[in-house]
Structure 1
């Protein structure tokens, strides 16, 4: 369409026409400027709206996802841990955690003041620093109670948000601390079962059932605490294991800790140390169980073979004496029941170093044990196995093993010679492993009788339990300070089992540096402290574990389970 033209007569240039033309040009310029301003305003509005969406929705959602991944690993809750009877040992609770988008907090100072008033445990300077950081995501507080969450919501502070979180809770506090371990603030396992099964607990949602029995665990810890207090000891440890299956029924190491309050433990590192699995010790005379079993198994001699123990053994410039001097020859049975170091050393020398080393390797004394927790200590032993090592190892010196390894090997000796690997997981009867043979059934039977004699009339008398046939062996070892042993500073132990005709459970009690008290007549050996603690544990645990009392009412003199001090005439060597 052609542009319309205005006809102006030639020569017509009046003042009125000039004014009209000027006004039209002015209107055109104004229209152009107005269009530019409108476009600028629209563009600015789009930018502002986009920024608000980015800050309020997109960034908040993005940081929310980040926090969620950091604390929950998606939407899976950490699974429960239960004991063999289904009692709850560890569980997770839904909580809310507080965070801020510092970019949209209008008044950081006012916000910090209000938050610290509701949450006085927070550090105001730290909170203010985080709110002024300009970051899109900063943690302020974790695992708030619903009441605290409600109070913070009522404050109405812009830029303050809540993230769904999860907190690990241990209903029994210290009771299972060294077995269960603990998690960090983001619910990642850091020790014990929590660490070993971290991925499984996060991924499957199915509870893990342990072999532990809460009732037995309570008994073991109670008696250990009482014993430590009574004998003024530095600590202690205990273990109860089913010798038929290898299932650990109770495990305690003292001092212990509350996994619910790990962040408040400070420098109390000793409480985190598991003496049963991580510690390795010279176990003293408890190792005479293994030395005697090997001697009988080797066929070198019998329980009636005699050794002269009237004079100390010499190892270079050192002498090996007995705690109680015996001035006449005694049988192997008496070497064991009287706990003779001299007799044990002579038995080991008669067998030889090669046989001893092979047996120790067979029962796992040269390798780190296996168990469903990461805190496991490797045994300590000399690379060069000399005659001196052979003698000292016979009575529990010169080689350090964990209490777990001792219990496992002794369990094999008394379980008809079959050693089961220890486990912290409940086993179905149909899935019990076959185990490995370490001694014959004949040797196992003799060792059960010898251990029974130690409790019936030897150094373990204070471990006797009325109605039950208990057998065991005491162990007292001097502790090392620097490069020498400190006299009077002992690690005492009592390893025992019941019922001895067909052992079901083995019990270990350890007492760390007990003191002599009035009731012990100046003695601090195992028979005076570890043995009575073990007896009290068994008297309370046996009924809980449904072990029936024995009908045997014989005295030691007419008990057929006792081995005579000397051989019948037709069995003399």
Structure 2
């Protein structure tokens, strides 16, 4: 019996070893199966992810577009007028939000102005990206990041910043929350692809070429400052002005009040906050007599040496047109302009003929909208055909409405030798401007108009402004247009204009200024344009001329040389012109 026992123990030990080996092998096989399954799932997931189209947009806008920059906008001297700054914006991935209520409550501790119901709705669902708040401060970004909420993240956006604020708002315009131009030169840049934003993916990493404007920020600031002063000084409801280089067409300054802050674009929507230089039309009043003078003198129907019978009003049916401050005597052509005679102006236009006068108005660019890069423009309102009385009233600036920029362009042509240059907000050389500019009046007529404008400054309605701008050889024409209220002209509400140019011995700049519903500055002053827009123009010239390289010169011979040779020679003048006026 003892011989058999060891064999039995050996067989039992071998069986246990074999069972343990089988179990280990089974475990290894199951482990391998499990690993294969895990890798199969991972492999399948990778294939699925590879076929999924990644959402690279946030609420319909690509991330590249959101992060893209706009070019800096500089004035003609390189001073910054608009720049981009980088700001954080908060977005959420609702499908990753674990507890909507908890996330919403936490966000509201940092951004309490958000609507709780709106916020919870934004955080609910399986969307990939939704905006929560745009253009936050770095401090707000830091506080939200400290909350540690899954599903929230930040994206750096470009935000437009205007260092000058309101100073050039109507020129600059504004951009929306997505940094897209919605008004002014900003919209023009987008419309013309000058901002290079078509390469959005590169725009955020590459420096964009700055855009230079023709605006001189120094002059712009002075113009804006004087407009602000005019609103207070004359208790006016609005004021506007623009200054143009007569030889290049470059606008060196343009402002209109009330204005807005482009850093807060919503202020642009407030009532009355529009560009009165390009987007409004007005009856130009007596400033339009300069147009009539140029038209009649250039046509040859009237000579600078002629005399006009202004003793009696001009009658149309049962209506008679009189002079505001009538001399009621025979006037020379310069006196018609100097005393702003309605009677004399009408008779000069009649010598030319109403149809020829209407054709001249068209030639001077008063039809349609003014040519300028700004999208905010309006169409003029000039009758297609003039009746006799319509032509008469139009000759002194009533019965038609034009934009101030159209008037400024015409005045520039009247003093630059007769070339109708297109205004622009971008730098341009004189050669480039004159290449396409039509000759609308002769150089001789231009010399006549320069003399008349200077005469009016020396001894006409511009004398108050000239006393301020003494030495800068400045001159121009006033216009006081009564506003239409309830279908009738109001003697209480008016628009005051002054169009001018300087220095008239060598014209370089033209300017238009308007003051809406001015009141007398004091008991001794009046409310017509010479008292407000005229004086204001003189103050502007005194401040900007030295910046523009124009020095004062009090030599009396300069004004003498502006007098036409025919008048200097003392040619014999008949009591009444041979034209029968």
| TM-score class normalised by the smaller sequence | 0.7 to 0.9
2:398 is equivalent to residue 404 of structure 1: no
User: Is the CA contact (8 Å cut-off) linking 1:284 and 1:396 kept in structure 2?
Assistant: yes
Aligned residue for 1:362? Answer: 363
Aligned residue for 1:193? Answer: 185
Gaps of 5+ in 2: 1-25, 200-207
Q: Aligned to 1:177, which of 169, 172, 180?
A: 169
Shift, 1:430, TM fit: 5.4
Q: Aligned to 2:143, which of 131, 151, 164?
A: 151
Shift, 1:48, TM fit: 13
2:545 is equivalent to residue 542 of structure 1: yes
Aligned residue for 2:124? Answer: 132
For residues 256-335 of structure 1, the aligned pairs below 5 Å read: 256-263=259-266, 265=267, 268-271=270-273, 273-335=274-336
Secondary structure of 1:476 counterpart: strand
Q: Aligned pair in 2 of structure 1 residues 486, 71: CA closer, same or farther (>3 Å)?
A: farther
Q: Which stretches of structure 1, 4 residues or longer, exceed 3 Å deviation after superposition?
A: 41-51, 61-72, 428-433, 553-556, 559-567, 569-573
Shift, 1:50, TM fit: 4.8
Q: Aligned to 1:207, which of 206, 210, 213?
A: 210
2:516 is equivalent to residue 529 of structure 1: no
Q: Aligned pair in 2 of structure 1 residues 75, 165: CA closer, same or farther (>3 Å)?
A: closer
Aligned residue for 2:477? Answer: 473
Q: Aligned to 1:447, which of 437, 446, 449?
A: 449
Secondary structure of 2:132 counterpart: strand
Cα displacement string for residues 274-324 of structure 1 (whole angstroms, at most 9, x for unaligned residues)? 100111111000011110111111111212322222322223333222111
Shift, 1:513, TM fit: 0.9
User: Is the CA contact (8 Å cut-off) linking 1:67 and 1:163 kept in structure 2?
Assistant: no
Structure-2 separation of matches of 1:429 and 1:339: 33
Cα displacement string for residues 21-74 of structure 1 (whole angstroms, at most 9, x for unaligned residues)? xxxxxxxxxx9xx99xx98x96999499959x97xx999x93454469446427
Cα displacement string for residues 366-421 of structure 1 (whole angstroms, at most 9, x for unaligned residues)? 22221111111111022332111211111011111110000001110111112211
User: Is the CA contact (8 Å cut-off) linking 1:334 and 1:565 kept in structure 2?
Assistant: no
Q: Aligned pair in 2 of structure 1 residues 203, 84: CA closer, same or farther (>3 Å)?
A: farther
Secondary structure of 1:103 counterpart: helix
Secondary structure of 1:249 counterpart: strand
User: Is the CA contact (8 Å cut-off) linking 1:70 and 1:186 kept in structure 2?
Assistant: no
Q: How many residues align?
A: 534
Q: Aligned pair in 2 of structure 1 residues 292, 429: CA closer, same or farther (>3 Å)?
A: closer
Secondary structure of 2:272 counterpart: helix
Secondary structure of 1:544 counterpart: coil
Structure-1 separation of matches of 2:439 and 2:552: 29
Shift, 1:195, TM fit: 0.7
User: Is the CA contact (8 Å cut-off) linking 1:216 and 1:250 kept in structure 2?
Assistant: yes
Structure-1 separation of matches of 2:339 and 2:408: 21
Secondary structure of 1:433 counterpart: helix
Using structure 1 for the length normalisation, give the TM-score. 0.86
Q: Aligned pair in 2 of structure 1 residues 212, 153: CA closer, same or farther (>3 Å)?
A: same
Q: Aligned pair in 2 of structure 1 residues 261, 520: CA closer, same or farther (>3 Å)?
A: farther
Aligned residue for 1:106? Answer: 98
2:389 is equivalent to residue 388 of structure 1: yes
2:150 is equivalent to residue 161 of structure 1: no
Structure-2 separation of matches of 1:161 and 1:180: 33
User: Is the CA contact (8 Å cut-off) linking 1:417 and 1:437 kept in structure 2?
Assistant: yes
Shift, 1:474, TM fit: 0.4
Shift, 1:520, TM fit: 4.6
Structure-2 separation of matches of 1:382 and 1:330: 30
Shift, 1:490, TM fit: 0.7
Structure-1 separation of matches of 2:306 and 2:520: 36
Structure-1 separation of matches of 2:126 and 2:61: 22
Cα displacement string for residues 97-138 of structure 1 (whole angstroms, at most 9, x for unaligned residues)? 111111221111121122121123323332122112443221
Q: Aligned pair in 2 of structure 1 residues 433, 565: CA closer, same or farther (>3 Å)?
A: closer
For residues 57-96 of structure 1, the aligned pairs below 5 Å read: 62-66=54-58, 69-70=61-62, 72-73=64-65, 76-96=68-88
